[in-house]
Amino acid sequence: MVEDQLAHPGSLNGHRFKQRRSQTFKNIPLALLGDLANIVVAYGEAPAGERGSKRIAGPPISWVAQRLGSGETFSCTLTPPRPLDDVFLGHLSLTRGDFAGALSLEEARLRWARFQRPTDVVTVFHPGTAHLFSSLAEDGDSCLVLKSVDLELNSSQFALEGFLSAPGIPAAVAHIPGRAGARLANTIAFVRHLNELAKPLHVMTSWD
């Protein structure tokens, strides 16, 4: 059988193996296989919408990130489009003092450009965070969205916090204050869990 496969590398079995290698276990992105040194996990807070009007996508008012390889972090607040009330600040687990040094959008873009490297793969959990990222990133930059990763228990209502409470998943530890810091830590924990799940696939693809 082995000799026959070597003599016919384009056989059906060989084709199936190549097809399987190009995919990922449970739809885990290839970027999360193996070394996570160039993975930058990010999270942003959107401004509150005006009462009675639909929220309009725009720049974040808080943006945090961590490069998994080195542990470097990025954290800034941006000048909100309107004054923040106490209720919304409590929702963000931030204070007015956290916005005392808020940056303009242009300043935030410059700081982010200095932080982000050409080899980075910016990774977020929710599509809404990807929209916020587009306000900060250079034209043409994209990010990896993990909301649709199929872990069999996933659904359109999949809550990251609920998933991370499952047995066997290490608790997320926040290193940046506020709700943004906690959600960043949760997304990092999710990325590391996906990386662990995909290790058998990484071993298989390394054979080639």
pLDDT, position 58: 77
pLDDT, position 4: 41
Per-residue pLDDT reduced to its tens digit, 138-148: 887 889 999 88
The structural domains of the chain, with segments of one domain joined by +, span 27-49+56-205
CA nearest to 137, candidates 116, 163, 164: 116
End-to-end CA distance of the chain: 20
**Which residues have CB under 8 Å from 55's CB, separation 6+?**
46, 48, 49
Q: Which fold has domain 27-49+56-205?
A: Nucleotidyltransferase; domain 5 (3.30.420)
pLDDT, position 165: 65
Q: Which residues of the chain have pLDDT under 70?
A: 1-25, 50-57, 150-159, 162-163, 165-168, 170-171, 200-208
